Structure 1
Amino acid sequence: MKIARVCGTVTSTQKESTLTGVKFLVVQWMGGEGELLPDYAVAADTVGAGLDEWVLVSRGSAARFIVNGETKPIDAAVVAIIDTVSKDNQLLYSKRTQY
């Protein structure tokens, strides 16, 4: 899993039929010190994440089974909304202080 920040959404009126009803988010990967990296991905949202929230993203074959327990053509899925992140006893992120 990787940490990312939600920075947008993707809307599609035409898509593979098994993706009907799946919400897609644009996520920006985070580095080890909480910095934003210049890499982005599109991930299926399974937890109702919102703009600017930090999330955990599962990637690869494991992500294909996360949405409703069915196999879907997905290679990244948001599986958790992060409350806090700390490293070496220092708080890098707290959802509580963001709002």
Structure 2
Amino acid sequence: MYMAKVIGSVVSTQKDPSLVGRKLMIVQPVNSDGQAVRHQEVAADSVGAGVGEYVLLVRGAGARRANRNEEATRDVNDCSIVGIIDRFDK
């Protein structure tokens, strides 16, 4: 899992059917000090995160499983928000 901050959202009216109904958020990966690392990316939100919140991300196969319903046969998602971070304890 990775940590990130939600910095915006993406609106896409034309997309793969597996993304229909999913909220797409722009996330900035961060370290435990909240400092930006790497580049921004888009993540499918499965927990109702909002702009300004710190979140947990999963990528790859974990991201595809995070939003899968029982009827899904394929999922193009490669990054999912699976948790909202309440605080960083160090």
Query: Normalised by the size of structure 2, how large is the TM-score?
Result: 0.88
Q: Read off the aligned partner of 1:10 and give its amino acid letter.
A: V
Q: What pairs up with 1:5-84 in 2 under 5 angstroms? A: 5-69=5-69, 70=72, 71-84=74-87
Report the number of matched residues: 87
Separation of aligned partners in 2, 1:37 and 1:66: 23
Give RMSD over aligned pairs.
1.3
Percent identity of equivalent pairs: 41
Query: Normalised by the size of structure 1, how large is the TM-score?
Result: 0.81
Unaligned runs of 5+ in 1: 88-99
Separation of aligned partners in 2, 1:10 and 1:86: 31
Q: Read off the aligned partner of 2:78 and give its amino acid letter.
A: D
Please identify the structure whose Cα radius of gyration is greater: 1
Distance change in 2, residues 1:46/1:54 (3 Å): same
Unaligned runs of 5+ in 2: none
Q: Which has the higher contact order (CA 8 A, sep 6+)?
A: 2
Q: Read off the aligned partner of 1:75 and give its amino acid letter.
A: D
Separation of aligned partners in 1, 2:18 and 2:58: 19
